[in-house]
Amino acid sequence: MRTELPESTPSTSEMPYPNAELALPDDEPARPGSDPVPVKLSRFLLELYPLAMSSPIGEFEEQLFLLLHEYFAFDSAWLGRSTMLLQGPLMHNSYVHNLAAEFVADWDTVKAADPIVPIVMNSPKKAVVISMADEGIVAHFRKLLAGKYAIARILCAVSKDDPALKLWTHLSLYKNSFLHAFSAEEIQLIELVIPHIASAINLNRVHHIEQLKAAKSSRRVSIAICDSRGVLQYADAAFADLMLMEWPEWKGAMLPRTFRELQQEKNPNLYVGKLISLQAERVSDLLLINAKPRSVIDVLTPRELAVARLYGEGLTYKAVAKQMEISPATVRHHLRQAYAKLRIQNKGEIAWLLSRYEQGARSHAHGDGEDVV
């Protein structure tokens, strides 16, 4: 299967590389490997999925590009995930190979002129092959890709990963010369491998999440991955339940605005809400979100906790007041507040609850898996 813009031979002055010539079919060099496409696909998949399980996020993508070089002839590449909107793709995360770091930002300035976008939206299961010498290539798009980045030919395939979130995975392979076109075998193979590449990315993320959860040794921690805009890419089963505890109206596609706004503040990595806490950690070009319910002790103010701890140790109102240099009436007020917030009735319950909290905190610090109350 193939979707291709009609190709014409431009004048020498129109070509980005004046000395280049368009290839004839019998001029094409031998492609990597001589096996038929089904055999290549089988070999590729046998390497792809173990790679997804053994490599951390970021390193997996680099290893994937090296694997692709064994099956495709290309000079540079772009692997990305986006939400497909009416005005074009909104990129969430990207990995480039043998391209300058600003490539994606540059592409974003000309994406409205990218001829690949409308083709894949209409025929997402077919690979797209274009030459920068094709008729219909908008001048500023040609100037950027062919001029600044020396791209002559493009082979692109997409996979629709999540219909609900409208997530797409795309893989674009680039050649820097007009001399050799992408072969029919390469076009067929990329159409076959792109859904597996999307699945392998998912597997890589899920495996990474499970490893992190195991390392944290706590059943209370839930983990999700989102892009820098707060659009969720992956999450474990408990993440949505935790988010709905704090934000009952949460719809699920993006992190709540409250948390996203914190990314612009002095301490962007931590959110402490009424019922849960969130921490963010950057992994490659993604954000790893750790969510967990707050301890019941967290509902107390520092002064209420200090009073409750001393009272739970057996001190009287007057002894607590003397040690904290406050009045006995203030001690009683803080204790009433603590009783109400913790829904307890007496000193024995305070002592038990604080003991469980501190025991759990010590156990969690030593990684033995005990949850904090």
State percent of the chain over pLDDT 70.
79
Listed in order, strand segments (DSSP E) in 132-221 are 153-162, 167-175
Burial 51-75 (b: 16+ CB within 10 A, else e): bbeebebeebbebbbebbeebbbbb
353 Cβ partners below 8 Å, 6+ apart?
296, 297, 312, 342, 344, 373
Q: How confident is the model at residue 10 (pLDDT cuts 50, 70, 90)?
A: very low
| pLDDT given at position 262 | 61
Count the helices and strands in the chain (H runs, E runs): 12, 11
Distance CA(320)–CA(318), nearest Å, equals: 5
Question: Over the chain, what is the mean pLDDT?
Answer: 81
| pLDDT given at position 74 | 97
The domain made up of 218-293 has a fold known as Beta-Lactamase (3.30.450)
What is the mean pLDDT of the segment spanning 270-285? 79
What is the mean pLDDT of the segment spanning 68-90? 89
Distance CA(30)–CA(35), nearest Å, equals: 11
DSSP annotation string for 284-301 = TTEEEEEEEEPPGGGGS-
Question: What number of other Cβ atoms are within 10 A of residue 173's Cβ?
Answer: 26
Distance CA(254)–CA(85), nearest Å, equals: 16
Classify domain 3-205 by CATH architecture: 2-Layer Sandwich (3.30)
Whole-angstrom Cα Rg for the chain: 29
Class of domain 297-366 as given by CATH: mainly alpha
- pTM (whole model) above 0.85: no
Q: Taking 70 as the threshold, does the pLDDT of residue 252 lie above it?
A: yes
| pLDDT given at position 193 | 97
Distance CA(159)–CA(125), nearest Å, equals: 7
For residue 192, give the H/E element and its range.
Answer: helix 184-216
State percent of the chain over pLDDT 90.
39
Q: Which tokens hold the place of 208?
A: 């990474």
The answer to whether residues 130 and 115 touch, using CB atoms and an 8 Å cutoff, is: yes
Where in the chain are all domains bearing CATH 3.30.450.20?
Answer: 218-293
Where in the chain are all domains bearing CATH 3.30.450.80?
Answer: 3-205
Closest CA to 307 of 257, 272, 342, 281: 342
Strands 232-235 and 286-293: unpaired
Sign of CA dihedral 2, 114, 100, 232: negative
For 138-172, what is each residue's pLDDT tens digit? 999 999 999 999 999 999 999 987 665 567 999 99
| pLDDT given at position 147 | 94
Bridge partners for 81 per DSSP: 93, 169
Q: Taking 50 as the threshold, does the pLDDT of residue 174 lie above it?
A: yes
For 28-62, what is each residue's pLDDT tens digit? 444 456 789 999 999 999 999 999 999 988 899 99
For 293-315, what is each residue's pLDDT tens digit? 877 666 677 888 888 888 888 88
Where in the chain are all domains bearing CATH 1.10.10.10?
Answer: 297-366
Distance CA(186)–CA(36), nearest Å, equals: 11
Q: Taking 60 as the threshold, does the pLDDT of residue 19 lie above it?
A: no
